[in-house]
Amino acid sequence: MLFRLSYDYVGDLAETASLLWQESRGASSPTLAEAVGALRSATRASAPAVVAGLLDRLDTSGRFALLKLATGALRVGAGARLARVAFAERFGLDVTEVEELWHGLSPPYAALFAWAEGRGPRPDPGAGALFRPFMLAHPLEAPEAIDLAAHAFEWKWDGIRAQAVTAAGERRLFSRDGNDISATFPDLVAALPAAPLALDGELLVRGPDGQPASFNALQQRLNRKAPDARLLREAPVFLRAYDLLAEDGEDLRQLPFHARRARLESAVARLDPARFDLSPLVDLVDHAALAAARACPPHPSIEGLMLKRLDSPYVAGRVTGLWWKWKKAPFTIDCVLMYAQRGHGKRSSFYSDFTFGAWGRDGALLPVGKAYFGFTDEELKWLDKWVRDHTVARFGPVREVEKALVIEVAFEGVSTSSRHKSGLALRFPRIARIRADKPANEADTVEAIAALMAR
């Protein structure tokens, strides 16, 4: 009972155990190497005694660190990009150069550290098909300030950003974070030419009508290390090319966008049209046309517009003033809060992960999504208190709540789902507004959400 109450208050299992563990006197603390060695050699049968023995020799902080290490939960909320930026700043290096070297080397990056510390030459990542850091866009917040004559306009397609590279006899496909995803999309990789080039584009599935299919179709291909013949046949992928980064051994990234675009058009014309096509430019004469295009794009797989300065080089990262993205206004629906779970890190004391549902035809609430953000710190405190005051059941770390609170959920799209009883799932859902003023029986229905998907 004490442990359950303590865990409910603390919000982290490892921290709760480290605080409640009885202090032991006299034994010396194990070194990190000793702890790792003991954990590695432990068997399923001996593990409880090994962990208990190590905990007995540690103080509260040490026990917390050990449990996080042993359970694989020693996580830091930092992306790989941040690690590379920190490395570059620490040694006074150009982050773009670090990015390109990083992806051509292997952990623990001894040659990279030696070069950064002045102990060795600049490492050679080789001449193979290497990753080049992507250029990213800023959200457009003041469209009226954009000089239309200085920009090119493209549709923003709803797929995943990818980079197709051929060099030194190698053909590879990279994701936005630099992961090699060639094995997941062998049909596209096989269609890459022998001549060296590096294409930036959007990975999409081609539907039966020859047009891009929904993101739901692409999801069937994601994270499949070895897709079978049926999947390759039913969900063929292609790359809608945005930019040309290199060709025939020449780095084109410092050329202005309009020059790269001309080279891109010529390069794509020589590729397999079933696997590669060109992202079309959109002709917009004034700001009214820009707003209209963003609000009513010609295809459901378009998320909005991209605005690219005609004179912009291809620069790694998100550089202000060069590329902009102006996404469509999100969909919104009113849902009913069903379940809540504690968050992680600084949110571990709050219920901040919320499952919500819509009404089915039989009058039952059916889950359609889960949201972790969209609310302010004050709204999080309010929601946390509401969950605690209206809990009707507990399932481990999850609380079921009274079906009484309506929340307005914003989202980007709808897809089919085998995980939810509703058969639907929302894409990128977030809480837009707490509707404490609205009765739960006036929330939206699964049927209405399905109509959005069909539309």
CB 311 within 8 A of CB 256: yes
Token pair recorded at residue 30 = 């194990």
Residue 373: half-sphere exposure toward Cβ, Cα within 13 Å: 3
Q: Residue length, the chain?
A: 455
Residue type, 292: A
CB burial of 225-244 (b: ≥16 within 10 Å; e: otherwise) equals eebeeeeeeebbbbbbbbbb
CA distance 441 to 434: 15
Q: Any idea which residues carry the catalytic annotation?
A: 156
- How far apart are the C-alpha atoms of 441 and 252, rounded to whole Å? 58
Q: Which residues are 239's β-sheet partners?
A: 203, 276
Residue 163 pairs in a beta bridge with: 174, 200
Helix/strand/coil for 335 = strand
- From the list 238, 219, 124, the residue with the least C-alpha distance to 415 is 219
**DSSP bridge pairs for 143:** none
Asked if residue 423 lies in contact with residue 416, where contact means CB atoms within 8 angstroms, the answer is yes
For the chain, what percentages of helix, strand and coil (3-state, to nearest 5) are there? Answer: 35, 30, 40
Which residues partner with 369 through β-bridges? 356
Q: Which residue has the tokens 């590729």?
A: 271
Taking alpha carbons only, the member of 70, 74, 72, 75 closest to residue 54 is 70
Q: According to the 3-state scheme, what is the secondary structure of 244-295? A: EEEECCEECCCCCHHHHHHHHHHHHCCCCCCCEEECCECCCCCHHHHHHHHH
